[in-house]
């Protein structure tokens, strides 16, 4: 037993219990700094994400985007723990050629959604963005309101050499955003190349933005994209453009009838909007709700998500096998020689492939 310490009468002793203000204490300022610098564990990040903490969400997405094996391991742990809390959302893909008004539309549509008590996450799939760090970041000025909106989370496209890599990262990011409480996910992609197909494969609803007056070739629109669209929204239906937009609507409606019925049993609709003037925005949301009603009732919504998951599972296996093969030291040292043998007609492509696969 310690003796009674009643000698604490001295003024000096009494002060020991008083914490000096942080600004004055070098030590406590340092310890705060250390705490901030400490990398949070996967468990900390999951807890933060489920709590709706934006910093935790951003840090976890950075891990997904990393190429470091340790980071990816941690990212996988986070994703696995967030997965049970994801899924309660609607995922909307938005595509259209450069300049059609995607960013302006997302600003208007996103602001409308947050005014309707939705929490939205805006992501992008833009494989060409490794240099520019994504179109969304580039024109954040077009999303001025959304950037400041506490109910909106905006993340530019992950950079990556391949579309497959970018698509995988975005898919995983969707899961984290949903676990963080974002119930409406908007995924933007430029309608050139194959990125719109990848986005179509990760969303519930696919929106094609168009402008009147430009032919399909001019708009870089392939038949496939129209076929994927659940709605075509003709943007810039304002000023002198209204008349042209209205006749484009008639034209597209007619064209859409030439396509076979979709397995969703949903008939794609054409609507007009002016993202700039924020007209026709609510109509798009009403249409999407209509779609959700139809597809949730007939079971397509669920079936589509299951199909997408199956596809991504197989895709991931394929990607992993490929990278394991090409990264193997033996293959690396023999591949070029086998190519040369094939070119010289000394072996067949099949024999060379068999040999390399057996290494």
Ligand X SMILES: Nc1nc2c(ncn2[C@@H]2O[C@H](COP(=O)(O)OP(=O)(O)OP(=O)(O)O)[C@@H](O)[C@H]2O)c(=O)[nH]1
By the criterion CB under 6 A, which residues form the site for ligand X? 96, 98-104, 135, 139, 142, 190, 235-236, 238, 274-276
CB nearer to ligand X: pick between 244 and 341: 244
Burial of 9 (0-12, 13-18, 19+ CB in 10 A): exposed
Stretch that binds Mg ion, among 40-48, 75-83, 134-142, 244-252 (CB under 5 A): 134-142
> Residue 135 or 159: which CB sits closer to ligand X?
135
- How many angstroms separate the Cα of 354 from the Cα of each of 137, 240, 349? 46, 63, 9
The tokens for 218 are 């001019």
What's the Cα-to-Cα distance from 116 to each of 92, 110, 282, 285, rounded to whole Å? 16, 10, 10, 10
Q: 60 or 100, CB closer to Mg ion?
A: 100
Q: Which residues have a Cβ under 8 Å from the Cβ of 112 and sit 6 or more positions away?
A: 278, 281, 282, 285
Q: How far is the CB of 97 from ligand X (least distance, A)?
A: 7
Residue whose CB is less far from ligand X, 92 or 356: 92
Q: Indicate which of ligand X, Mg ion, none lies near residue 235 (CB less than 5 to 8 Å, by partner kind).
A: ligand X
Q: In terms of DSSP bridges, do strands 120-124 and 152-154 run parallel, antiparallel, or are they unpaired? A: parallel
Name which of 190 and 352 has its Cβ closer to Mg ion.
Answer: 190
Give φ, ψ of 96 to 5 degrees: 160, 155
Q: Residue 66 Cβ, how far from ligand X at the closest point, in Å?
A: 26
Name the minimum Å distance from CB 143 to Mg ion: 9
Nearest-approach distance from CB 183 to Mg ion, in angstroms: 23
Nearest residue (CB) to Mg ion, 86 versus 192? 192
How many Cβ atoms sit within 10 Å of the Cβ of residue 18? 7
Residue 44 or 279 having the CB closest to ligand X: 279
State the minimum distance, in angstroms, from the CB of residue 137 to Mg ion: 10
User: Closest Cα partner for 109 from 141, 152, 52?
Assistant: 152
User: How many CA atoms, within 13 angstroms, populate the side-chain half-sphere of residue 240?
Assistant: 1
Q: How far is the CB of 140 from ligand X (least distance, A)?
A: 11
Q: Which does 199 bind (CB under 5 to 8 A by kind): ligand X, Mg ion, none?
A: none
Residue 24 vs residues 17, 19, 33, 35, 114: alpha-carbon distances, Å: 16, 10, 15, 18, 43
With CB under 5 to 8 Å by kind, the binding choice for 111 among Mg ion, ligand X, none is: none
State the distance between the two ends of the chain, measured CA to CA, in whole angstroms: 73
CB of 40 to Mg ion, least distance (A): 32
Beta-strand (E) ranges in the chain? 90-96, 120-124, 152-154, 184-190, 205-211, 231-235, 269-272
The whole-angstrom separation of Cα 281 and Cα 101 is: 13
Q: Does 104 bind Mg ion (CB under 5 A)?
A: no
Contact (Cβ atoms closer than 8 angstroms) between residue 294 and residue 286 = no
Q: Among residue numbers 63 through 102, which ones bind Mg ion (CB under 5 A)?
A: 102
**135 is an interface residue for Mg ion by CB under 5 A:** yes
Task: Give least dist CB 189 to ligand X, A.
Answer: 9
Give whichever of 60 and 198 is closer to ligand X, judged by the CB atom: 198
Binding partner of 129, given ligand X, Mg ion, none, CB within 5-8 angstroms per partner class: none
Residue 301 and residue 292: Cα distance in Å, rounded? 7
Query: Does the footprint of Mg ion cover residue 103 (CB under 5 A)?
Result: yes
The item of ligand X, Mg ion, none sharing an interface with residue 77, based on CB under 5 to 8 Å by kind, is none
Q: For residues 160 and 191, which CB has a smaller minimum distance to Mg ion in the complex?
A: 191
Distance separating alpha carbons of residues 296 and 264, to the nearest angstrom: 10
Contact region with Mg ion (CB under 5 A), list: 13-21, 31-39, 128-136, 297-305? 128-136
Question: Residue number with the shortest CB distance to ligand X?
Answer: 101
In DSSP terms, 189 is beta-bridged to 95
Contacting residues toward Mg ion, per CB under 5 A: 102-103, 135, 139
């Amino acid at each position: 037993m310690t003796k009674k310490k009643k000698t604490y009468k001295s003024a000096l002793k009494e002060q020991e219990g008083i914490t000096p203000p942080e600004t004055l204490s070098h030590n406590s300022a340092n310890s705060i700094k250390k705490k901030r610098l400490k990398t949070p564990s996967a468990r900390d990040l999951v807890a933060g994400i489920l709590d709706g903490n934006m910093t935790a969400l951003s840090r976890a997405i950075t891990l997904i985007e990393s190429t470091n094996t340790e980071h990816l391991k941690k990212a996988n742990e986070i994703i696995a723990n967030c997965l049970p809390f994801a899924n309660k959302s609607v995922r909307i893909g938005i595509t259209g050629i450069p300049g059609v008004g995607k960013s302006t539309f997302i600003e208007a549509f996103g602001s409308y959604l947050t005014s309707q008590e939705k929490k939205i996450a805006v992501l992008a799939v833009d494989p060409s963005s490794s240099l520019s760090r994504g179109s969304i970041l580039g024109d954040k000025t077009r999303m001025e309101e959304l950037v400041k909106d506490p109910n909106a989370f905006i993340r530019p496209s992950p950079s990556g050499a391949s579309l497959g890599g970018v698509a995988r990262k975005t898919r995983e990011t969707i899961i984290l955003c949903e676990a963080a409480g974002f119930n409406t996910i908007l995924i933007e992609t430029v309608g050139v190349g194959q990125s719109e197909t990848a986005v179509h494969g990760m969303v519930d609803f696919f929106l094609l933005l168009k402008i009147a007056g430009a032919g399909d070739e001019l708009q870089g629109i392939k038949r496939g994209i129209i076929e994927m669209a659940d709605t075509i929204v003709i943007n810039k239906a304002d000023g002198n453009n209204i008349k042209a937009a209205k006749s484009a609507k008639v034209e597209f409606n007619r064209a859409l009838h030439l396509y076979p019925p979709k397995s969703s049993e949903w008939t794609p609709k054409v609507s007009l909007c002016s993202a700039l003037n924020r007209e026709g925005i609510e109509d798009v949301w009403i249409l999407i709700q209509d779609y959700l009603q139809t597809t949730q009732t007939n079971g397509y919504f669920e079936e589509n998500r299951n199909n997408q998951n199956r596809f991504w599972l197989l895709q991931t296996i394929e990607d992993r096998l490929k990278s394991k093969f090409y990264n193997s030291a033996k293959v690396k040292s023999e591949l070029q020689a086998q190519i040369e043998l094939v070119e010289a007609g000394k072996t067949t492509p099949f024999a060379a492939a068999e040999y390399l696969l057996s290494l």
